[in-house]
């Protein structure tokens, strides 16, 4: 616990609230309605984490609508999810993002030169859900479906700085300690051992010219999948479609807002499903690192005058390894003093794997600097003004087909 403030406002958890925030939030939601988006895969209904999330959400009178953006392979899986969320008392809608009616709307968008059929995964599902959620909400919160340590405080902490007119923030990012108290292990390796030292290496090589990189470094956990924002700003953001979603989203918020309208909030201890590390860049944590490299190099290219060359990539690669090794020493000391298990050799191995991905992906970026961002909703609505209504109607048609 500390009082430290970053370049963006940091809202700490001093454990002094007696429920006043939730009571005030419930009042505010009456004239500033809220929506919650939960992107999920079908297999997550078998997790006890999601059952607990539903139980906690049933206590959240301040949430007006829940949008579950679902990726399911067939009608039976979709129906299972519909039945599962029958326990959710809040007004909710399961959007089968790859279902027949939603897919038809997405395919029809091509007639207006808006083609998002090339995109797959969480980014696309979030994009679709934001469109529907923004129809009737002042603010939107988002979190994953696999949070083991979830409580009603999660959405409350995310939404309160957005809804409270005395604060009036446009965007709030959650941060937390990625610790498993039962197993006494430290997680969050992609952020700890890759994103943070990679940002430091980029900043060093662009000579701190990019304010965006400085801004990204101010977030205590830039990869957190938990955030809240106003519906208005949500419509202005170009969302990355891959694992660069969280970092790319922060850069988009920077472009469309200001430091004083952005904050981050302490969500406490956090644990969820962990991904494996595999040396194939199409799988596990390595896929995340690959996509994040592409996203951060694109941001550096867009926001600085530096020439992204092979020598630049090699220089960042060398500095990254040094900065990551320094962080391993610091995390090791932190773990010892908190009686946590810490395999220093395994952490070094992560850095070796991540650094090789950085080098390979960086060099491939030089050949084809791909854009992996989806169009913002403002552009989509200028082409198809009733697109949000079409998507909601399509989601309801999929539901009606089960009757």
Contacts of 221 (CB under 8 A, 6+ apart): 173, 174, 175, 176, 178, 188, 191
- Provide the CATH number for the domain around residue 257: 3.90.550.10
Q: How many domains does one find in the chain?
A: 1
Full pLDDT tens readout for the chain, 403 residues: 678 898 899 999 888 887 899 999 999 999 999 999 999 999 999 889 999 999 999 999 999 999 999 999 999 999 999 999 999 999 999 999 999 999 999 999 999 999 999 888 888 999 999 999 999 999 999 999 988 889 999 999 999 999 999 998 999 999 988 888 889 999 889 999 999 999 999 988 876 567 888 899 999 999 988 999 999 999 999 988 777 788 889 999 999 998 899 999 999 876 655 444 444 444 578 888 998 999 999 888 888 888 889 999 999 999 999 999 999 999 999 999 999 999 999 999 999 999 999 999 999 999 887 656 789 999 999 999 999 999 999 999 999 988 7
**CB atoms near residue 356 (< 10 Å):** 15
HSE value, Cβ hemisphere, 13 Å, CA-based, for 6? 21
What is the b/e burial string over 15-47, where b = at least 16 CB atoms within 10 angstroms of the residue's CB?
eeeeeebbeebeebbeebbbbbbbbbbbebbeb
> 144, 134, 156, 148: which is closest to 180 by C-alpha?
148
Domain residues for the domain of 217 are: 9-393
Q: Does residue 224 sit in helix, strand or coil?
A: coil
Q: 2 lies in a domain?
A: no
Q: 399 lies in a domain?
A: no
> 223, 224, 247, 251: which is closest to 237 by C-alpha?
251
Q: 195 lies in a domain?
A: yes
Q: 48 lies in a domain?
A: yes
Q: 401 lies in a domain?
A: no
Contacts of 360 (CB under 8 A, 6+ apart): 281
Q: 1 lies in a domain?
A: no
How far apart, in Å, do the first and last CA atoms of the chain sit? 52
Q: 398 lies in a domain?
A: no
Q: 380 lies in a domain?
A: yes
Q: Does residue 328 sit in helix, strand or coil?
A: helix
């Amino acid at each position: 616990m500390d009082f430290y403030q970053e370049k963006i406002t940091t809202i700490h958890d001093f454990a002094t609230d007696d429920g006043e925030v939730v009571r005030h939030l419930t009042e505010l939601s009456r004239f500033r309605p809220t929506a919650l988006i939960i992107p999920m895969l079908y297999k997550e209904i078998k997790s006890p984490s999601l059952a607990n999330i539903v139980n906690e959400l049933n206590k959240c009178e301040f949430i007006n609508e829940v949008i579950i953006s679902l990726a399911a392979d067939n009608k039976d899986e979709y129906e299972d999810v519909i039945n599962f969320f029958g326990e959710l008392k809040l007004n909710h809608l399961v959007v089968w993002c790859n279902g027949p009616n939603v897919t038809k709307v997405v395919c029809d968008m091509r007639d207006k030169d808006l083609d998002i059929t090339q995109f797959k995964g969480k980014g696309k599902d979030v994009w679709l859900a934001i469109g529907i959620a923004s129809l009737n909400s002042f603010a939107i919160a988002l979190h994953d479906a696999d949070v083991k340590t979830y409580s009603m405080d999660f959405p409350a902490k995310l939404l309160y700085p957005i809804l409270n007119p005395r604060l009036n923030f446009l965007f709030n990012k959650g941060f937390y300690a990625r610790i498993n108290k039962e197993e006494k292990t430290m997680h969050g390796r992609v952020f700890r051992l890759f994103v943070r030292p990679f940002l430091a290496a980029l900043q060093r090589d662009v000579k701190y010219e990019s304010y965006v990189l400085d801004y990204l470094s101010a977030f205590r956990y830039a990869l957190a999948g938990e955030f809240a924002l106003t519906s208005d700003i949500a419509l202005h953001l170009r969302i990355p479609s891959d694992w660069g979603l969280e970092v790319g989203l922060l850069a988009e918020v920077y472009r469309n807002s200001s430091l004083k309208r952005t904050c981050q909030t302490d969500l406490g201890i956090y644990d969820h499903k962990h991904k494996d590390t595999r040396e194939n860049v199409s799988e596990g944590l390595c896929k995340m690192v690959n996509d994040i490299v592409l996203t951060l190099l694109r941001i550096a290219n867009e926001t600085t005058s530096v020439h992204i060359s092979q020598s630049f990539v090699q220089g960042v690669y060398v500095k990254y390894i040094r900065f990551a090794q320094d962080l391993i020493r610091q995390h090791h000391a932190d773990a010892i003093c908190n009686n946590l298990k810490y395999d220093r050799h395994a952490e070094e191995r992560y850095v070796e794997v991540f650094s090789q991905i950085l080098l390979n992906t960086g060099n491939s970026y030089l050949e084809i600097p791909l854009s992996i961002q989806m169009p913002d909703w403002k552009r989509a609505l200028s082409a198809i003004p009733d697109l949000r209504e079409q998507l909601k109607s399509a989601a309801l048609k999929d539901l009606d087909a089960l009757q």
